Amino acid sequence: MQSALNTPVSFAVDERLNRAVDWRLGIPLYVYAVVFSSLCIVWGLLWDIMWHMSIGRDGLFAPPHLLMYVGAVVAGLFSGFKILQLTFQRSHPDRAVSVRFWGVFYGSLGALYCVWGALAMLTSAPFDDWWHNTYGLDVQILTPPHTILLLGMMIVQFGSIISVLALQNRIGDRTTENELEKKQAFRIRLMFGISAGLLLSVLFVLFSENMGEWASHNTSYYTWAAIAFPIYLMAVGRASPLRYGLTIITAVYMLTMLIPSWILPLFPATPKLGPVLNPITHYQAFVFPLLLIVPGFLLDKLMHRYSGKLNDWLLAGAAAAVFMFALLAVQWPFGEFLHTSPYARNWFFLAESWSYGDDPTWEYRYKYHPYFSQTVEQFALGFGQALLIAFVSARIGLYWGNWMKRVQR
């Protein structure tokens, strides 16, 4: 009788203990920490941009900056602790798959990137404050302190990708009947998709000044896309073992971009610097992201069907054509919709967003500027050049992806 009463109680206690211990599924805590840091960095960056659009000058400890600092500090501390742990704990099981540097320290490659990136980010903070005090309000994204900050951010984010990638590659393509191992493998692969999508978000922000919907009918728009995206998408697409890896990565990118732009405009914000040409009362959203999920899905289909059947040069050519024509097919009409249609001027599509320092009555706010007009022949020639750039970009991306598939430390 005593045994019959105790059995379910004991089982329940064991289940609670298992859930407490196994929520990580054997994945090191610092890996979760650096992926979280990458999210903090992206959302802090987007908040900072919207702060500049809505409020103006920010201080060293403005809320968006603090969120980015949290990302840098968490990534640096967790990765630094992992390095010290592997260095001084000689019996640590991960030491055998770590990298030795400076003849003394041991650590994973991802942890090294995270520490270097965090130091660059934290160094850029006082430099940015001095820049503002000396030269005034930023009028562009790539000022010298912002360049250091963006490099640091992207290094931290690349470190989070490499941290997950090393685990993913050590697992490989093995099949198992163990449910815990199946869950672990799926979570690691999903975390790779999330971390890759977060870095893709920052990559888009980096090129966003040249890729507004106002240029979507001009070849410059597609040339910048050819430079920025095939190299990255082909690299992470090759590194991901998921059948729809690029679809997941581009979906994460879109949600990462849209969530802050959907939420922050619900909160009040008023300009604190002049001139105020657009007297706003709430945060202004950033931009609706490119619909990269469409070419991402088609590239998944292409790579699943032809990877291993075509050499990388032919695959790069096919990928460049798929990416560029898919992007043209979706962004030409969608860019026009965002820029000209009254149905896009709402909370969801963000087309009514306008910085406090810009004149809301500007005649080209909702129509294309003649500067971006091209003849059919000019557009065809420019798009052909963009296709060649995309081919080179995709080929480099496949080469980079081959390296990523070999990372295990």
**Domains of the chain: total:** 2
DSSP 173: T
**383 CB-near residues (< 8 Å, 6+ apart):** 219, 222, 324, 328
Boundary of a domain, candidates 206, 226, 259: 206
Q: Is 268 helix (H, G, I), strand (E, B) or coil?
A: strand
Q: What backbone phi and psi angles, to 5 degrees, belong to 333?
A: -75, -35
Boundary of a domain, candidates 148, 177, 206: 206
Do 201 and 246 reside in the same domain of the chain? no
Do 134 and 104 reside in the same domain of the chain? yes
Neighbours of 402 (CB within 10 A): 13
Do 173 and 247 reside in the same domain of the chain? no
386: tokens are 């963009």
Is residue 31 assigned to a domain?
Answer: yes
Do 290 and 361 reside in the same domain of the chain? yes
CA-angle at 405, arms to 402 and 409, nearest 5°: 130
Do 216 and 273 reside in the same domain of the chain? yes
Is residue 10 assigned to a domain?
Answer: no
Do 306 and 338 reside in the same domain of the chain? yes
Residue 167 and residue 94: Cα distance in Å, rounded?
Answer: 11
245: tokens are 């890896």
Q: What is the CA radius of gyration of the chain?
A: 24
271: tokens are 């300009």
Is residue 111 assigned to a domain?
Answer: yes
DSSP 335: H
188: tokens are 């690691």
Longest dimension (CA), the chain: 89
Residue 82 and residue 124: Cα distance in Å, rounded?
Answer: 24
Pick from 11, 41, 24, 63: nearest CA to 283: 63
Is residue 345 assigned to a domain?
Answer: yes
User: What is residue 17's predicted lDDT score, i.e. its pLDDT?
Assistant: 39
Do 180 and 266 reside in the same domain of the chain? no
396: tokens are 């480099």
Pick from 103, 70, 109, 71: nearest CA to 87: 103
Residue 281 and residue 56: Cα distance in Å, rounded?
Answer: 13
CA-angle at 35, arms to 30 and 37, nearest 5°: 90
Do 229 and 365 reside in the same domain of the chain? yes
Do 325 and 181 reside in the same domain of the chain? no
Q: Which residue has the tokens 């959302």?
A: 43
Residue 288 and residue 262: Cα distance in Å, rounded?
Answer: 10
Residue 53 and residue 287: Cα distance in Å, rounded?
Answer: 11
- Where the chain has pLDDT below 70, the residues are 1-24, 92, 94-97, 103, 127-143, 172-178
Do 160 and 292 reside in the same domain of the chain? no
CA-angle at 166, arms to 160 and 168, nearest 5°: 100
Do 96 and 236 reside in the same domain of the chain? no
Check residue 308 and give left, alpha or beta (phi > 0: left; psi -120 to 50: alpha). left
**Please, are residues 277 and 360 in contact by the beta-carbon 8 Å criterion?**
yes
User: What is residue 12's predicted lDDT score, i.e. its pLDDT?
Assistant: 39
User: What is residue 143's predicted lDDT score, i.e. its pLDDT?
Assistant: 67
Boundary of a domain, candidates 176, 206, 236: 206
Neighbours of 93 (CB within 10 A): 8
Q: Which residue range forms the structural domain that includes residue 179?
A: 25-206
**127 CB-near residues (< 8 Å, 6+ apart):** 144, 145, 148
Is residue 30 assigned to a domain?
Answer: yes
Do 80 and 190 reside in the same domain of the chain? yes
Neighbours of 18 (CB within 10 A): 11
**Please, are residues 209 and 141 in contact by the beta-carbon 8 Å criterion?**
yes
Q: How far is CA 241 from CA 162, 175, 211, 251, 319, in A?
A: 15, 13, 30, 17, 18
Length of the chain equals: 409
Residue 151 and residue 155: Cα distance in Å, rounded?
Answer: 6
Is residue 149 assigned to a domain?
Answer: yes
User: What is residue 175's predicted lDDT score, i.e. its pLDDT?
Assistant: 62
Is residue 145 assigned to a domain?
Answer: yes
136: tokens are 């005034």
- Cα atoms found within 13 Å of the Cα of residue 189, Cβ hemisphere only: 21
Residue 19 and residue 390: Cα distance in Å, rounded?
Answer: 47
Is residue 13 assigned to a domain?
Answer: no
DSSP 95: G
User: What is residue 101's predicted lDDT score, i.e. its pLDDT?
Assistant: 72
Check residue 141 and give left, alpha or beta (phi > 0: left; psi -120 to 50: alpha). alpha
